[in-house]
Amino acid sequence: MRTSQRTRKRKPPPNKYVDMAARAALRCLEGGTEPPTDLFALAHMRRVKKIYLRPMVGEGATYAVNGGFEIAVRDRIRDEVIRLDLDDPRRPPLEARQRFTLAHEIAHTLYYDLNKQRPVLINDSPRGDMLEAFCNRAAGMFLLPDALLRADLAGRPVSLEALRWLSRRYRASSSAVIRRIDELGIVKPEDHAIIYTERRADEVEIVAAFVPPPLQVVLPRPKPYITKLRTWGRSFITTEFWTSQLWRREVDVYGLKLCVEKRTGEIGDAFYLEISVV
Ligand SMILES: [Zn+2]
């Protein structure tokens, strides 16, 4: 791997670059004014020729090939190829997780120069974990475009109900929606904090969180997102909390009265906390 420390004119910082590139890609998407985002159309526009849905080890992969790209997305059962280059009309339904993977893989193409017959990585594009983080960020923007999400959040307080509605509407996972809400930084006084957790090994970890600024005075904003819930919520989480499916308490956290409600998630061991000021 090259560590490029060359002296060249500064491009926009990598996070700005990916935001700009993702927005530009979305703008080219015709009819992109209503969710959910047509990821197959977006992939086609980014010169993706084939999408493989198949059992595989990772969640997804992108390969530069002659004339564009091929993308593989993990599927537990299906093993099929969608030929975007041949106007294949099939658009198999994807789960929210697969949609995120496909959006992430499309984001990888943003770091390639498409003017070549076989796309080549842009000089000085980020590598490793930083590249993956940027592709996750762009994937979120693809699935939940700024303008649409802003419009949907205007006048609608952040709550678990709103989150579920947005997840269905954008066909995006809870964690993707929460991260986007957090990124957009729209603040309304009635917003609730939403903490989404999953059990991983022996710990319950915060996977995504939105804590509105007024609550940040008493609730730490869990960042980066992988944080132990036990540590984060120790000021109000009791022993009973861990064994109850539904747990709702009014608690006093540093003098602020909060209503903390635990609700089970749709999948496995995931659950949400919804926290509001009483
Ligand atoms: Zn990746």
At 39-95, the pLDDT tens digits run 999 999 999 999 999 999 999 999 999 999 999 999 999 999 999 988 788 889 999
Q: Are residues 24 and 124 in the same domain?
A: yes
Q: Are residues 42 and 134 in the same domain?
A: yes
Domain end (from 139, 170, 204)? 139
Q: Are residues 21 and 129 in the same domain?
A: yes
What does the alpha-carbon distance between residue 170 and residue 165 come to, in Å, rounded to a whole number?
A: 9
Q: Are residues 129 and 151 in the same domain?
A: no
The number of distinct structural domains making up the chain is: 2
Q: How far is the CA of 157 from the centre of ligand 1 (A)?
A: 33
Q: How far is the CA of 58 from the centre of ligand 1 (A)?
A: 10
Q: Are residues 86 and 167 in the same domain?
A: no
Q: Are residues 62 and 32 in the same domain?
A: yes
Banded pLDDT at 8 (limits 50, 70, 90): low
Q: Are residues 127 and 152 in the same domain?
A: no
pLDDT digits (tens, 9 = 90+) for 120-144: 999 888 899 999 999 999 999 999 9
pLDDT digits (tens, 9 = 90+) for 30-42: 656 789 999 999 9
Q: Are residues 235 and 261 in the same domain?
A: yes
Looking at residue 30, what is its pLDDT?
Answer: 67
Domain end (from 139, 158, 190)? 139
Domain end (from 118, 139, 160)? 139
Q: Are residues 97 and 156 in the same domain?
A: no
- Please, what is the average pLDDT of the chain? 90
Q: How far is the CA of 43 from the centre of ligand 1 (A)?
A: 15
Q: How far is the CA of 61 from the centre of ligand 1 (A)?
A: 7
Q: Does a structural domain hold residue 204?
A: yes
Q: Does a structural domain hold residue 110?
A: yes
Q: How far is the CA of 250 from the centre of ligand 1 (A)?
A: 42
Q: How far is the CA of 218 from the centre of ligand 1 (A)?
A: 35
Least confident of 7-11, 115-119, 181-185, 215-219: 7-11
pLDDT digits (tens, 9 = 90+) for 141-176: 999 999 999 999 998 999 999 999 999 999 999 999
CATH number at residue 202: 3.30.450
CATH number at residue 114: 1.10.10
**Enclosing domain of residue 177:** 147-277
Q: How far is the CA of 198 from the centre of ligand 1 (A)?
A: 22
- For the entire predicted model, the pTM comes to 0.89
What does the alpha-carbon distance between residue 208 and residue 128 come to, in Å, rounded to a whole number?
A: 22
Q: Once rounded to an integer, what is the mean pLDDT over residues 105-132?
A: 93
pLDDT digits (tens, 9 = 90+) for 215-248: 998 998 887 767 899 999 988 888 899 888 889 9
Q: Does a structural domain hold residue 9?
A: no
